[in-house]
Structure 1
Amino acid sequence: MTISTTGSTTIAPCLWFDDDLEDAARFYTGIFPNSSIGHLTRYNAAGPGEPGRVMAGEFTLDGLTFRGINGGPAEFGFSEAISFSIACRDQSEVDYYWDALVDGGQESVCGWLKDRFGVSWQIVPTRLYELVSDPDPARARAATEAMLRMRRIVVAELEAAADAAAG
């Protein structure tokens, strides 16, 4: 059997929120460029939720569509097993996304954080990939070791560590 994937098939992450999908969609679309809230489906008299409350919906973050549901208490809470990675072109972009997403959330290590809704994010400068893949093993190791000591990734510190190892 062959399944055609041209035209109408789409894949989108779907996130399970307790009861704050609308707040999350507003939070995320306020951070990312080219973002918007699509439809929000609300409960009606048929239930099972309170009429007028958001049941499900869609939002777009910089061109990527997400779906969400208000599924009730987090029987299936978010974990680091699924995260969203943002490849940043420079330190100012790292700082922007880090500060915006960690607001009300929690810092982790190596460029990871959890936002106020419990969703995990990786805020990664593209320079990190270059440095940890450096053809000089000493530079790559030094950059990796520096990254492992960081919460927010700081490009200048990665570069300084790599340069010191080469010296």
Structure 2
Amino acid sequence: MRKQFVIEAVMLAVYGEMLVPSQPVEYIIPYTTIRELYELKDTPEPIMPDAKDETHVRTKIKELIELLEEPLNRKKIEKALTVPWTQSPPMPLSDHVTLTMVNSFDNEEYGEAFDPIETELILTAMRAQAPIMTDQLELIEKIIEAEIPVQVFDLDDFEFAVEEEGMV
């Protein structure tokens, strides 16, 4: 059974280890974070502090966009975009990794404490009953302080999260 995690799409470009997990993984990605990939691809502002990392991440962003724009994957995404909270069928990235896009939307349930993408990650995690995987310590702290009933992992604990027993 695949472990599920709710993540932002850009994390797949930035953190290569997410593409080679020790066990099968399904990443559930809010559509707004996929749109964010296009913005990052076209921005002249640096994404990474190191020039070598910057080139690598931009290449990975372009590769991920190309994968999502393949006709079959594009069709899966477009079909899911017709109704709020619909999930696309899984899109395989490798033998151990699949992506599922969810047509999430920010309903401002958590007010000003969370930005729209953070809210979508939280709501997606609640609906999917899957933990959030993030590299944003501030988001983790805000979720804990607000006592939001979702499980959240720091990306540094990725392998632990993948191997943890009892996960969805």
Query: The TM-score by the shorter chain falls in which range?
Result: under 0.3
Counting helix residues as a fraction of each chain, which structure ranks higher? 2
* TM-score normalised by structure 2 residue count: 0.23
| TM-score for both structures, normalised by structure 1 | 0.23
Q: Which structure exhibits the higher relative contact order, with contacts defined as CA atoms closer than 8 Å and separated by 6 or more residues? A: 2
Larger Rg: 1
Where is the strand percentage greater, Structure 1 or Structure 2? Answer: 1
